[in-house]
Amino acid sequence: VSHGSSWKTVTIAGVGLIGGSFALALRKAGYGGKIIGVSSPPAIEAALARGVIDLALPLEQAATQSDVIYLAQPIERIIETLETIDPYVRPGTLITDAGSTKTQIVEQAQESVRRGRFVGGHPMAGKELRGVAAAEAGLFQGRPYILTARDPELEHWVAAIGSKIVILDAREHDRLVAFTSHLPQLISTALAASIPIQLGAERVVGPAALDLTRLALSPYEIWKDIFATNSTAIDAALETFIERLENLRSRLKDPVIESEFDLAAAAALRLRQGN
Amino acid sequence: VSHGSSWKTVTIAGVGLIGGSFALALRKAGYGGKIIGVSSPPAIEAALARGVIDLALPLEQAATQSDVIYLAQPIERIIETLETIDPYVRPGTLITDAGSTKTQIVEQAQESVRRGRFVGGHPMAGKELRGVAAAEAGLFQGRPYILTARDPELEHWVAAIGSKIVILDAREHDRLVAFTSHLPQLISTALAASIPIQLGAERVVGPAALDLTRLALSPYEIWKDIFATNSTAIDAALETFIERLENLRSRLKDPVIESEFDLAAAAALRLRQGN
């Protein structure tokens, strides 16, 4: 199937859950070109065995022959790659990424990417399992996919893999996900750590506690870089949230907090209508 | 089916989701006696139409002929009923309830119940829909059911409807559910109210924000009495949680918070193993 796409060779740097799923999704959407994987030896072995990539190369070699370089590494690694990749790419090569924060990544790209051109990306998709073994073509289906700039061909493929394209400035993205993703993680971790297990709290657990502590199962490893690269926005989101919570706390027996419940219910409903 | 139970007539006061489900669950578990409903005219009409109750009576009349009185009303209403019901019951009548907080209810019963005997209860079950129309026999299946004292026959029926019996002192119950139920509600409400919808946050919503704002859809009406009757324990739970969150906030870029993530993940896992 041809979509009139000029993409003939795509390099995926970091062939884990997201990078592997993007490769599988591209194929399923009709991409007929080559897919080169750049990753650790065990990830490459697994990706080749599953047919997720066509071949493996060191990054610099892959860069010289690619139309697109898709960085699906941890955030700090993406920043390091952006610092050094540009001399190896052909002029006009599209470099994009899948990092969960965007401001520092876009800033690094503005500083370092000259021959190539960079469009930041953030697919709002994931699951509890990690690694290329968990990759699936349908991972992005129906999920928002943020892009920090317009690019017709990238938008074509992002739409083709089933995502909803959202164009957002990097700083705006980071401010919003601080509320919708990073704050929920910190809340879940703080809540789970607060529940008095030593007093047998697990005996009275209902759906509420289970829902709110699910994120607390996430390892710190995947959050470290997010906190490091979005601390200002996260701090502001925490401040807003703690103020709201202290307000409820100080008026616990005052019926005036009904208006806060109404406001929250309307917001929760609105979040669901967007999905 | 006879279980050697002495229960011949059970009165359900408040034939809504919980009261109606308890009636249906009793029947399904083999209870062959009479079920009297005490509720508002529309609830009674719906309950009779669905066959949830056998007949309807005013509370005082129902009390004079019941072996068991099951109070499934709002908490403040349960407390009012306990203040006035005792003169109408036969000696030894079991009075139990399904209120979400226990300390004030048990204190009222200790003061007012003389002819009858009181055992507090709290089925950790529910769903988003309310009213007898949403009642179902399986609502308590697999869920914890807290009792504030032992009673062999009540325990027999609670086990028969599929619940896991947990015997807990009223104050201990209130302290634990402040963490596992009341704190999650306040967190969800404060989070939903904090998310900047006016900036288009719904465009970047993923599973995290959806999970954590689900409770925010609950109306204040069902929480009013809970906050009024458990404010001390809720305030203490909020204090613990906010301290934990402020600790994470002040060390956002410090790898030392990995230990907090580990602690939280272990607790979240433990909550799931108890279930």
CA distance B259 to chain A (A): 9
**Per-residue pLDDT at A25:** 98
- Closest residue of chain A to B192, computed from CA coordinates: A264
Per-residue pLDDT tens over the stretch A7-33: 999 999 999 999 999 999 999 999 999
Considering only residues B177 and B274, tell me which one the structure prediction assigns the higher pLDDT: B177
CA distance B171 to chain A (A): 12
Q: Taking 90 as the threshold, does the pLDDT of residue A1 lie above it? A: no
The overall average pLDDT reported for chain B is 95
Q: Taking 50 as the threshold, does the pLDDT of residue B1 lie above it? A: no
pLDDT class for A4, splitting at 50, 70, 90? low
**Per-residue pLDDT at A127:** 75
- Closest residue of chain B to A209, computed from CA coordinates: B180
Per-residue pLDDT tens over the stretch A125-174: 877 788 999 999 999 999 999 999 999 999 999 999 999 999 999 999 99
**Per-residue pLDDT at B143:** 92
- Which residues in chain A have Cβ-Cβ distances shorter than 8 Å to B270? 197, 202
**Per-residue pLDDT at A59:** 98
DSSP helix/strand/coil, B39? coil
Predicted ipTM?
0.91
B206/A143 Cβ within 8 A: yes
pLDDT class for B112, splitting at 50, 70, 90? very high
B235/A268 Cβ within 8 A: no
**Per-residue pLDDT at A274:** 60
Q: Taking 70 as the threshold, does the pLDDT of residue B113 lie above it? A: yes
**Which pTM does this prediction carry?**
0.91
Q: Give me the residue from A197, A199, A227 closest to B253, CB to CB.
A: A227
CA distance B160 to chain A (A): 19
Q: Give me the residue from B126, B143, B187 closest to A191, CB to CB.
A: B187
Q: Taking 70 as the threshold, does the pLDDT of residue B275 lie above it? A: no
- Which residues in chain B have Cβ-Cβ distances shorter than 8 Å to A209? 179-181, 184, 271
Per-residue pLDDT tens over the stretch A252-267: 999 999 999 999 999 9
Per-residue pLDDT tens over the stretch B186-229: 999 999 999 999 999 999 998 899 999 999 999 999 899 999 99
Q: Give me the residue from A144, A253, A268 closest to B231, CB to CB.
A: A253
A213/B268 Cβ within 8 A: yes
A172/B191 Cβ within 8 A: no
Q: Give me the residue from B181, B252, B265 closest to A234, CB to CB.
A: B252
- Which residues in chain A have Cβ-Cβ distances shorter than 8 Å to B271? 192, 195, 197, 201-202, 205, 209-210, 213
Per-residue pLDDT tens over the stretch A32-88: 999 999 999 999 999 999 999 999 999 999 999 999 999 999 999 999 999 999 999
Largest separation between any pair of C-alpha atoms in chain B:
67
- Distance between CA atoms of A76 and B143, rounded to whole angstroms? 44
